[in-house]
Structure 1
């Protein structure tokens, strides 16, 4: 048995980066060999705004295609930290309902904008809100995964670690996004991997350049993607690898690539996996 046969990760990806139509999303993901899909939006509507009828229809589309949901890519925490705690807890309830209908084990969240203030000024407010979100998720069977994102409190390794260790909940873990680290001047593997790996349960796949912060296909930027994949492999990682290419454009709550560019991103990551001796299931 070769290494690529013995180490396999489940391939997923952000369907709405392909098309607004979930049937197109599903068809492209299956054509790329994915077994799962990460759900951020469908029919031009964010996942937490879909009706019960739309969620049921979406579940039917994915079932028909033989796809399972790896995560709900929610916008929870992509709001100003000055909003009341209950604001995002209520929205998380809708994300949890989507996860229940679609059978997703993870929900992606963020740790709040704080424009015009220093991080230390908002730290306690962030921790209060992240703790409330984790408590809401506890007992549901769904794990929240915090994504390191530029312009939020948890953008650099020190503050990401502060969040997850201070909240200290089994319902709050980390998603790893190398491109986002690059965009805040962090070398992902060199500067963050060792400290954060004990809490990382989900891999988001995109890369970026230090020179201009441009997002590029995995392995073509400064995100140390191959080194990270190799280290995850050696540590026994058995989770998802979710493509989030952002190759056409990005906006506040997400990004877009289109079917062709999404395929370019998938093939680039396939080369990384092959070099690391990791297969996909």
Structure 2
């Protein structure tokens, strides 16, 4: 496997139940997890006691947490942002409780408004969160999700340069760029100085179909090669998003997760030469 990269993943795509998630991680030899859903509950909605018990369960199985896969920023700019900021505080708390350095966030939907019209509000909220993350010693990872302010390479760069913070970085998702009509290679070139983490899934440009890494138009192998050459290392987080009835890559959640991990490992092995 290519040096510098560590496989983690969204194990809630294996199953809602944490015991099944742990079993699926162990079966694929993955010792890190990006925590999102725990026994059918979002990680931010766990009680403090439940979060501590989760930490113990993971410690007992030698599985560590790479990031909190939070839904922060996946709300509309017209929603109650003060209430959302309080929820953001829970995400920082969960990172501390679960012993990780990263929290995944988004940059807000903007229903019936152009991205340019919500820029000031989005930048204000992102800067505010970055300052809080710095105080907490946590790094925020912005995912280029479809339909949010930062779903284009240029607007991602706008966010990252405006924040001017070592505690606000990019979680680069090639498939999301494909599905938004952008070429991931040039997008990575534009954002490389800010990338600290990768979400690994791939997509076919013509149809939007999600496929394992290396089987679509996401340039995943080339991007990870460039990242390695630039000295960018860290987590590559498997987020399969494969459909259960996909004729080539379908199956149970555990089977789809295993396919995604296997194809990523093949790709990393090729990079290692």
With normalisation by structure 1, the TM-score equals 0.92
CA RMSD of aligned residues (A): 1.5
What's 2:228 paired with?
233
What whole-Å deviation, never above 9, does each CA across 1:25-79 have from its counterpart, x for those lacking one?
1221122122211000111000110111211111111111101100000000000
Instruction: Give the gaps of 5 or more residues in structure 1.
Output: 250-255
What whole-Å deviation, never above 9, does each CA across 1:188-243 have from its counterpart, x for those lacking one?
01x21111000000011000011111111110000000100111111112211110
Equivalent of 1:175 in 156, 171, 176? 171
What whole-Å deviation, never above 9, does each CA across 1:134-176 have from its counterpart, x for those lacking one?
1121121210000001100000000000001011122111101
Greater CA drift, 107-116 or 132-141: 132-141
> In the aligned structure 1, how far is the partner of 2:226 from the partner of 2:22?
30
> In the aligned structure 1, how far is the partner of 2:111 from the partner of 2:254?
35
Secondary structure, counterpart of 2:259 in structure 1 = helix
Secondary structure, counterpart of 2:136 in structure 1 = coil
> In the aligned structure 1, how far is the partner of 2:198 from the partner of 2:252?
19
Equivalent of 2:54 in 52, 58, 81? 58
Q: Structure 1 runs of 4+ off > 3 angstroms?
A: none
> In the aligned structure 1, how far is the partner of 2:252 from the partner of 2:145?
19
Secondary structure, counterpart of 2:135 in structure 1 = coil
What's 1:91 paired with?
87
Report if the CA contact (8 A) 1:17-1:257 is conserved. no
Secondary structure, counterpart of 1:240 in structure 2 = strand
> In the aligned structure 2, how far is the partner of 1:105 from the partner of 1:185?
31
Equivalent of 1:68 in 45, 64, 67? 64
Deviation at 1:20, TM superposition (A): 1.2
What's 2:248 paired with?
none
Secondary structure, counterpart of 1:139 in structure 2 = helix
With normalisation by structure 2, the TM-score equals 0.94
What's 1:20 paired with?
16
Equivalent of 1:269 in 219, 244, 264? 264
Equivalent of 1:206 in 198, 201, 209? 201
